[in-house]
A = this chain, B = another copy of it.
Amino acid sequence: MPPTDRIRDHAGQGATTVAAHRARRRLRADRARQLADLLRRQLLTGGFPTDTLPHESILAGDYGASRNTVREALDLLRAEGLVDRQPGVGTVVVARKYPHGLDRLMGLAETLHEHGRVTNEVRTAGPTPAPAPVAERLHVPPGTDVLYIERLRRLGGLPLSLDLTYIPLDIGTALLGADLENTDVFRLLETITGRPLGHAEITLEAVTADAHSAAVLEAPRGTAVLMLERLTHLDDGRPVDLEFIRFRGDRITMSGLLRRSC
Is A197 positioned at the interface, with any CB of B under 8 Å from its CB? yes
Q: A interface, how many residues as a size bin?
A: 35 or more
Q: Which chain A residues numbered 220 to 246 have a C-beta less than 8 Å away from chain B?
A: 222-227, 229, 235, 244
Is A94 positioned at the interface, with any CB of B under 8 Å from its CB? no
A244 CA to B73 CA, complexed, in Å: 15
With A213-B33, A224-B224 given, is the CB distance from A104 to B258 under 8 Å? yes
- Chain B proximity mask over A114-147: 1 for CB below 8 Å, otherwise 0: 0000000001100001011110000000000000
A223 CA to B205 CA, complexed, in Å: 12
With A42-B133, A256-B202 given, is the CB distance from A80 to B164 under 8 Å? no
| Least Cβ–Cβ distance between A255 and chain B, in angstroms | 5
Is A9 positioned at the interface, with any CB of B under 8 Å from its CB? no
A80 CA to B199 CA, complexed, in Å: 30
Q: List 16 A-B contacts (CB under 8 A).
A: A30-B212, A33-B213, A37-B244, A64-B129, A64-B131, A97-B205, A102-B202, A102-B258, A104-B261, A197-B260, A199-B260, A202-B256, A203-B254, A208-B208, A208-B222, A208-B249
